[in-house]
Amino acid sequence: MPTGRLVSVDVARAIAVFAMFAAHIGPPAKPEGAGFLLVAFDGRAPAIFTLIAGLSLTLSRGGTRPRPKPAGALRSTIVRCAVLAALGLALTELRSGIAVILTFFALYFLAAEPLARLGTRALTAVAAVSVVLGPALSYVLGPYFGYRVIGRGRYPGFEAVTSWSGFTGALDTLLLSGAYPLLTYFPYVVVGMALGRIADLRRPGVGRRLIGWGALVTLAGHGLSALALGPGGGREALLRAIAESHAYAVNAPDPVQAVLARQAGAIPSTSWAWLLVDGPYSQTPFETVANIGVSLLLLGLVVAACRSRALETLLRPLAVVGTMGLSVYAVHVVARAELHPHHGWPALGAFCGVSLVACAVWAFVFHRTPLRRGPLEWALHVLMPKARTT
């Protein structure tokens, strides 16, 4: 199999980063006016970003032809996770208003290490089971940790390393109650890892197949949810649960959406019927399936586009941003904290435009040096080899 970076994966990663910009800085994603353009990415940006992280993890280890793990690989992973966790905690302390995902990523990569040793069939089976089991466990465990009715959506700060209570609270956040908890977001990583084993993105026709499967999986996620809530009687069960446990939403135009909007991530544990919804950030099996479908669709589109030399050349600026995804994400959190931009199209356009130009300039200036991969990416690269040799 040819070596080297896949431009299509870098482009998809850049689109995921810009979609997160849209969630953090852009106008509200509403099905009316210009905001309609953002509805497709509402709640899906972190899912796409996370799935691509899992895919990249597998590609870095040989893709469809896994290579033997080098000596010290676990130590390198631990160093990488420690750096990501420290960076995530530091960015969280800036109080930017963004639920920083990097600390969660540190846990994802650590949890992915033993799965990387599995065969392709076993890894694919784990991915399929996790899509259902993760959200179900989140629902079951919620009441035992005080999340039967109230929302979640937390993220850890430096108190995680300064006190025992902060540490245990961070574990709760990272595993169950956070904005991107392991139980409901790690399945995207595992699906991405399995995809990297199954699909050789360099082969002709793979892009078209990903588009087809992506569209089918997306329709399955949303369609089955609609059937379960409608003819299946799920909505009636939800309305009964709302009347019993969510009185504030009873008289809302759409009681179900009123409850989900207040949750700030994950569903309440007041009725099993909540597992049938597919709304953004609901962290249910149907939302997970639909988000996986959209991720496959996006990846298929960019893989197919990059088969054309002309289109690949046009997409190169996006690919450069994708190679520096960690740095771009971190800088956007800092900029959000320092500049406090008003949410809207001008701010979103400015953040995306500056990212494209800055990354292009960086890549041009440092193209003959290891720094070309991005400042934070370079730092990780420097630290990880040291971990192998110490």
What pLDDT was estimated at residue 327?
Answer: 97
What pLDDT was estimated at residue 385?
Answer: 58
Distance CA 45, CA 157 (A): 22
What is the torsion angle, in degrees rounded to the nearest 10, for the CA atoms of residue 313, residue 318, residue 323 and residue 325?
A: -170
- Residue pLDDT tens, the chain, 390 long: 344 579 999 999 999 999 999 989 988 877 676 676 787 777 899 999 999 999 999 998 888 888 877 767 788 889 999 999 999 999 999 988 899 999 999 999 999 999 999 999 999 999 999 999 999 999 999 999 888 887 777 788 888 888 888 888 899 999 998 999 999 999 999 999 999 999 999 999 999 999 999 999 999 999 999 999 999 999 999 999 999 999 999 999 999 999 998 887 789 999 999 999 999 899 999 999 999 999 999 999 999 999 999 999 999 999 999 999 999 999 999 999 988 778 888 999 999 999 999 999 999 999 989 899 899 999 988 887 554 443
Q: Quote the pTM value.
A: 0.94
**Cα-flanking dihedrals φ and ψ of residue 150, to 5°?**
-75, 160
Long-range contacts of 140-143 (CB under 8 A, 24+ apart): 140/269, 141/176, 141/183, 142/176, 142/266, 142/268, 142/269, 143/269
What pLDDT was estimated at residue 384?
Answer: 76
Centre a 10 Å sphere on the Cβ of residue 272 and count the other Cβ atoms it contains: 15
3-state secondary structure the chain: CCCCCCHHHHHHHHHHHHHHHHHHHCCCCCCCHHHHHHHHHCCCHHHHHHHHHHHHHHHCCCCCCCCCCCCCHHHHHHHHHHHHHHHHHHHHCCCCCCCCCHHHHHHHHHHHHHHCCCCHHHHHHHHHHHHHHHHHHHHHHHHHHCCCCCCCCECCCHHHHCCHHHHHHHHHHHHHHECCCHHHHHHHHHHHHHHHHHCCCCCCCHHHHHHHHHHHHHHHHHHHHHHHHCCCCHHHHHHHHHHHHCHHHCCCCCHHHHHHHHHCCCCCCCCHHHHHCCCCCCCCHHHHHHHHHHHHHHHHHHHHHCCCHHHHHHHHHHHHHHHCHHHHHHHHHHHHHHHCCCCCHHHHHHHHHHHHHHHHHHHHHCCCCHHHHCHHHHHHHHHHHHHHHC
